[in-house]
Amino acid sequence: MTLRFNSIIALILLTITTAQGQKVDHKLEQKIKQEIAGFRGDIGIYVHQLKSNKIVAINADTIFPTASIVKVPILVGVFQKIAQGELKLEQPFSYSDKRTYGGSGLMQFYKDSAQTDLSTMISLMLTYSDNVTSIWLQELAGGGAAINPLMDQLGLTHTKVNSKTAGREKIWEEYGWGQTTPQEMAKLFTLIRNGAVVDARHSDKMYRYLKNQFYNGRSLSQLPAWVNTIAKTGSVDRARGEVVLVNAPSGDYVFCILTKNNQDASWTDKNESEELTRKLSSIIWNHFEPKHPFQSFKPIN
């Protein structure tokens, strides 16, 4: 199982051009460091303005739990199967209530034997972070045994599916469903944006699925509604994270904020990590877009 040749060439070129001329944005770095001082947990941040090739990297190579952000690598695994002709977006499936699983999502409320299709399952996984469809799609993608080598081929050596993956049981105990670093997850979004995952056609379709987010009360709430984004959040009690790529007027930028060992494990909009994520998203937008300042609103309960 390998990525397509054109995708590999695009990946190599993107890696070379990204590494060349990359500079630290010291002004933004200072703003972020001031904001995260005193955070009661571990935090990693990676920001990359693609046009200027400026970055901020704070614990960006540290491994964090993905929580539901692991659904992006699962998406890649599914589209690899689609490209190989083993799956089709219109392919029908029948839901069984034996697949019922708690947490976020809608499919757990489907009636037994309800009919669905692969495209709907992908949409539920990404838009509503549906756990039932995510576990199902992980199986259809071939599990971690198939998805993890794809991450390696993309140069994302720390991004892994741990759950139900042979040999990763001990790692699962530490990180849960999946693991990644802020830099690697931001890179995965950038690769999809640049058509370098599977191939340009399949990357385009993945991008379209990632646009629609039900959970838009964190970083996305701090961006103007007229700006296009792709995003994914992840949440467990003591780890919260989000990755966002913004099609901003002055040029696209991507950022990933991951936390772990958080003292605040609450599940409200006032959760310390979630409030910090909103503040950082606002800081990043207003830093890159001084001509388009956005006065963000408080979350609507």
Residue 101 lies in a domain: no
Give mean pLDDT, residues 117-144: 98
pLDDT at 3: 67
Give mean pLDDT, residues 118-130: 98
- Beta strands, E only, 87-176: 92-94, 115-117, 160-161
Give mean pLDDT, residues 227-251: 98
Q: Per-residue pLDDT for 68 more than 80?
A: yes
Residue 282 lies in a domain: yes
Q: Per-residue pLDDT for 9 more than 80?
A: no
CA 93 – CA 69 distance, rounded (Å): 24
Provide the domain count of the chain: 1
Reported confidence tier of residue 276, pLDDT bands at 50, 70, 90: very high
Q: Per-residue pLDDT for 190 more than 60?
A: yes
Residue 265 lies in a domain: yes
Residue 82 lies in a domain: no
**CA count, 13 A, side-chain hemisphere, 254:** 22
CA 229 – CA 16 distance, rounded (Å): 25
More confident residue, 11 or 86: 86
User: Which whole-number Å values give the CA distances from 126 to 120, 132, 215, 250, in the listed order?
Assistant: 10, 12, 10, 27
CB 46 within 8 A of CB 238: no
pLDDT at 295: 80
Range of the domain at 218: 5-69+158-288
Which domain CATH number covers 209? Answer: 3.40.710.10
Reported confidence tier of residue 4, pLDDT bands at 50, 70, 90: low
Reported confidence tier of residue 102, pLDDT bands at 50, 70, 90: confident
Residue 148 lies in a domain: no
Give mean pLDDT, residues 80-91: 98
Q: Per-residue pLDDT for 126 more than 80?
A: yes
Share of the chain above pLDDT 90, in %: 89
Q: Per-residue pLDDT for 154 more than 70?
A: yes
Q: Which residues pair with 274 in a beta bridge?
A: none
Residue 129 lies in a domain: no
